[in-house]
Amino acid sequence: MTSTIIVTGTDTEVGKTVFAAAIASVLGARYWKPVQSGLDGGGDASAVAALGVRADRILPEAYRLTTPCSPHLSAELDGVEIDPERLALPSIPGALVVEGAGGALVPLTRRLLYVELFARWGQPVVVVARTSLGTINHSLLTIEALRARAVPILGVAFNGEANEDSEAVIAKIGRVKRLGRLPHLAQLTPETLRAAFLDGFRLEDFK
């Protein structure tokens, strides 16, 4: 099994947190969100806990910022300076799932993008993409940005209703593995999410 998996997206609200919760739960991995911007509802750590990730497997964020916006601005509004040295991957036993914020080019500071942090980490990235209109452009741009910085790409995980052509085109043109798809779930619970993940993905692809 890949010991660390980074989860990024083509945009905000594409389903990164749901996917991260699914894979962390199924693999029995620990979950870490390095920087949380926006604390309403407890943030993404609370969301993954509600979706089946055990509380003792959720690592504390390096930064918890108040405003739900880009981390660089949220930190400035809170009077906080994000120190990249605090964003080193945790040294822990077993598997780790790390969730970024928004898309790969979201700035952590006015000098550091998430994709540059991914490059420092050197661990495989899963790109979470919608299946709706616009996903081909957003997905291929994200893949190009990762490749330009030599970030290893494990593949693309789709979220939404099936769109065979878009999913196939992204995989072929982007030269990436099509990992699978999570459908929209009428009831999103730990049980339904786990079942959907096991139905839509192959665990061997995460090894």
Active-site residue, selected from the candidate residues 33, 172, 177, 207: 33
Residues 31 and 57 sit within 8 Å (Cβ to Cβ): yes
Integer angstrom CA distances of residue 21 from 66, 101, 117, 146, 169: 22, 14, 21, 23, 27
The residues, ordered by sequence, that sit 6+ positions from 186 with a Cβ below 8 Å of its Cβ are none
Neighbour-count burial of 31, counting CB atoms closer than 10 A to its CB (0-12 exposed, 13-18 middle, 19+ buried): buried
* CA distances, 197 to each of 27, 97, 145, 158 (Å): 11, 15, 27, 11
**Tokens for 64?**
């918890």
Choose among 7, 1, 6, 24: nearest CA to 194.
24
Alpha-carbon span 125 to 192, nearest angstrom: 25
Active site residue 33: yes
As a whole number of angstroms, the distance between CA 202 and CA 206 comes to 8
Residue from 11, 14, 42, 1 nearest 114 by CA:
11
Task: Give the residue numbers annotated as catalytic, written as ranges.
Answer: 33
